[in-house]
Amino acid sequence: MKSSEHGALTRNQELVYDALTDAKGPLSAYAILDGLREHGIRAPLQVYRALDKLLEFGLVHRLESLNSFVACSHPECDSRETMVFTICEKCGKVSELADKAIAGQLESLADLDHFALKAATVELRGFCQACQTASTQ
C-alpha cells in the first residue's frame, strides 16, 4: 500500500516527491533539480534515481509526450499498469483519469495480436474545459 511505502522514502525520494506534489502539475527532471538546489540536490542523477524509485512505487507517473513527471493523483491506484492522462495543449493542464474499462479494452486488443500486455501509456491531447470556453467567447 502506498501510505506505508511513503513513510519509507529516503531523503532524496522525499524531496523529489514533495516537489511534484507541491507543483500540482508535471515537472521535468531538470525543473525538479532547479527547485531542489537549495536543499542540497546538485546533479541530475540524484533526481533521476529518486524518480526511478518513485515510478517503481507507483507514486509518480511519467508523461512520455512531455518528458516530464507527475505525482499520482489516485491514492488508492496501485495498479501501475494503465494510466490515462489528458494534456491541454493550450494551458498545459494535465489530469489523470481513472478508468477500468479502457484497461480491459486495451487488454483484449493486445490479445488479438497475441501480445502479452504489461503496461499501457495513454496520453490524450486536446483542450481542457476552461480553455474551450475561453476560446469560444
Per CB under 8 A, residues contacting a copy of itself are 64-65, 84, 86, 88-89, 95, 97, 99, 101-102, 105-106, 109-110, 112-129, 132
The binder of 30, among DNA, a copy of itself, Zn ion, none, by C-beta within 5 to 8 A per type, is: DNA
For residue 22, with 0-12 CB atoms within 10 Å meaning exposed, 13-18 middle and 19 or more buried, which class applies?
A: exposed
Q: Which residues contact 58 (CB under 8 A, 6 or more apart)?
A: 2, 72, 77, 78, 79, 80
Contacting Zn ion within 36-75 (CB under 5 A): 72, 74
At its nearest, how many Å lie between Zn ion and the CB of residue 38?
29
8-state DSSP, 98? P
Closest CB to DNA among residues 55, 110: 55
Q: Does 125 bind DNA (CB under 7 A)?
A: no
